[in-house]
Structure 1
Amino acid sequence: DLSLRDPSEIERWASELGGVSLAPGHVRLPRGSAVERLPGFEEGAWWVQDLAASIPARLLGAGEGRRVLDLCAAPGGKTLQLAAAGWQVTSLDKSVKRLDRLVENLDRTGLTAEVVAADALKWEPSRQYDAILLDAPCTATGTCRRHPDVLHRIGPRQIAEMADLQAALLARATGWLAPGGVLVFATCSLEPEEGEAQAPPVALLPLPIGAGEAPAGLEPTAEGWLRTHPGLLAEVGGLDGFFVARWKVGHLTT
């Protein structure tokens, strides 16, 4: 799966690369493509990103110069999406090595972001943000379509540890939102403890995902969340398992 820097060029890149589009700004190629040799790679016209992984950033829409914090951002697919959509992006991750790859992708695509190497559980921002995207660390069981071994390496202890970390990150992120701000939470996990069981942060209100916001063939839950799994869109190659929820800062009433 490729995400395009310029979504208006779907027809061009789908034709030139021999792929199909399953969503705005997306092209899916046949398996086995050597991406570094494909047209458009060196000029930064696109980057590799599973379709499911592209959904969280899509839910924030056009940035129009507003500020967004991409937490746990490396290797950077969502940062690139947000920058291409007109957000002023701050990308934070504690892995310097993974951030190096993010910076390489920014350079290749010509997109810009403020890159911060820090632990989100200790870092304090100097400003509030209009939006925060938290693609939280998780057991990654949703990637079993591409990495089936993950299902044999994960047990209850790892799931519980990741769920606790996610809750801590959510609690911190909530306090960094400006009035009216939006928080998108996502994990590439199939485990309910790392998705549906994560309680909405205090002081945030649900901002349900609408049916028209998801790629064709995907439907939000009754709660307004989105749950994908490798069996969905099987006729066109499937996609990773993800959980995505969206909340907003509420206004106090008297």
Structure 2
Amino acid sequence: MSSVFDCLDASQLLPAMRAARTTVARGELIVLPTDTVYGVGADAFSPAAVRRLLEAKGRGRNQPPPVLVGTTDAMRALVAEVPLEVDALVERFWPGALTIVLPAQPSLTWDLGETKGTVAVRMPDNMVARELLQETGPLAVSSANLTGQPAANTIAEAEAMLGESIGVYLDGGQAGVGLSSTIIDATQLVTATESERIVRVLREGGVTRAELREVLGDALEPDPAPAEPEAGGAS
């Protein structure tokens, strides 16, 4: 049976952290609050745990989960290289709603799915999540919902969708802004020639293109062209 802890209750916070840490160590799943939406998390270095995460959400290996970290040092240990532009993004937006895709550290022994040698990494702006991450190490975390359903903004919504597939639920109240993180692909900053070094926006969310442009300038891909109005449509 799943355990639910109210992390807004100071008397439950320490038992909640212990239970979550033990559950992760056993290769089981937890649900945790973040600054965006609730997430379902697993030990990033346990292929069996990551497989459970994907199965709980109804996802395949072609949709690998991002990895949440509690410190920038943890991020640096996961990626092959941190370009200066990514350093600037981390300085501006972390902890926060920006997920950065980079080439993974090739010496790591893990299996997040079909990542093509990359890892999507983020530091959440939520104290419960960051304190837990500093105890467990990096967690594979995806939004706490079934694939195709809206992301959970409350623990009740997460529990209704994921049920007994989760060992521990950490209730942190209403989740952040209820808006998923922005995901950018910064791999070309590492792998491409100088003229081809560009950052692509894979998903717009909590950090806008305009905010990214303030940091990256021309290193950010051109903004998409505005949609053409339909013939005969309202002006």
TM-score scaled by length of structure 2: 0.27
TM-score scaled by length of structure 1: 0.26
Structure with greater helix percent: 2
Q: Which has the higher contact order (CA 8 A, sep 6+)?
A: 2
Decide which structure has the larger Cα Rg and report it.
2
